Chains A and B, each alone.
Chain A
Amino acid sequence: AQSVAQPEDQVNVAEGNPLTVKCTYSVSGNPYLFWYVQYPNRGLQFLLKYITGDNLVKGSYGFEAEFNKSQTSFHLKKPSALVSDSALYFCAVRVNSGSARQLTFGSGTQLTVLP
């Protein structure tokens, strides 16, 4: 079975500082990893994904994520946080699991960027 862990329920960072939102995963086989963001009362929006290739993936709004196979991690990062980045962030993993190919989500991390 595949699983995703987001060890921090809440992350606070000052505007202009770098931010990291952590994600670790457990799968059998090669993972396909995703980050989504959810603003209040909205659906999830895709940020970025890792499929294969470079371990550093760049996505929307200046976010990037680093795939680390040995540590089974896929942490989300941004060099300089904005107040508008405050939202709920979800990490997700997907593998080839028969006909299901289900996307498994972490529990989410609430990011608050303080002005």
Chain B
Amino acid sequence: NAGVTQTPKFQVLKTGQSMTLQCAQDMNHEYMSWYRQDPGMGLRLIHYSVGAGITDQGEVPNGYNVSRSTTEDFPLRLLSAAPSQTSVYFCASSYSPGTESYEQYFGPGTRLTVT
């Protein structure tokens, strides 16, 4: 299994540009989520999905959109990039959200810089 994959690894955007961060998993996990990691703040949840066709907002959703058309893929879209969105973005997946005991598997991250 490839686990959780993310593309691209690095990206530089200008303010106002849009882009999509890709995330895919091959473990048939129902639950997928996007986090951003900023120094001294740990990981903060942006959006999550409990299954195909179902998404919801996390702690810091503003400026981001998601969709979940398949179990495998969970792309994150930046609508109009702002310097405050400079961060490292991690995608994660786990088994059914109804089973809190399952740990999340993380992708390698996308380092985004907005100038």
**Residue positions of A touching B, CB distance < 8 A:** 4, 9, 32, 34, 36, 41-46, 49, 51, 90, 94-96, 99-103, 105-108
Q: Kindly report which residue of chain A lies nearest to residue B94, judged by CB atoms.
A: A103
CA distance A104 to B79 in the complex (A): 26
A94 CA to B98 CA, complexed, in Å: 11
Chain A nearest CB from B56 CB (Å) reads 7
Binding site for A on B (CB under 8 A): 4, 31, 33, 35, 40-45, 48, 50, 56, 58-59, 90, 92, 97-98, 100-101, 103-109
- Please indicate the chain A residues that have their CB under 8 angstroms from the CB of B109 in the complex: 41-43
Complex interface: chain A residues within 8 A of B41 (CB): 107
A99 touches B105 (CB 8 A): no
A46 and B105 in contact, given A9-B40, A99-B50, A100-B56 (Cβ under 8 angstroms) = yes
B92 / chain A contacts, CB cutoff of 8 Å = 44
Q: How many A-B residue pairs have CB under 8 A?
A: 59
Q: Which residue of A lies closest to B103 (CB)?
A: A46
- A108-B38 Cα distance, complex, nearest whole Å: 11
Is the Cβ of A103 less than 8 Å from the Cβ of B45? Answer: yes
Closest chain A residue to B101 by CB distance? A51
Contact B100 A101 (CB under 8 A): yes
Q: Hey, which chain B residues are within 8 Å of A49, CB to CB?
A: 101, 103
A100 to B41, CA, bound (A): 21
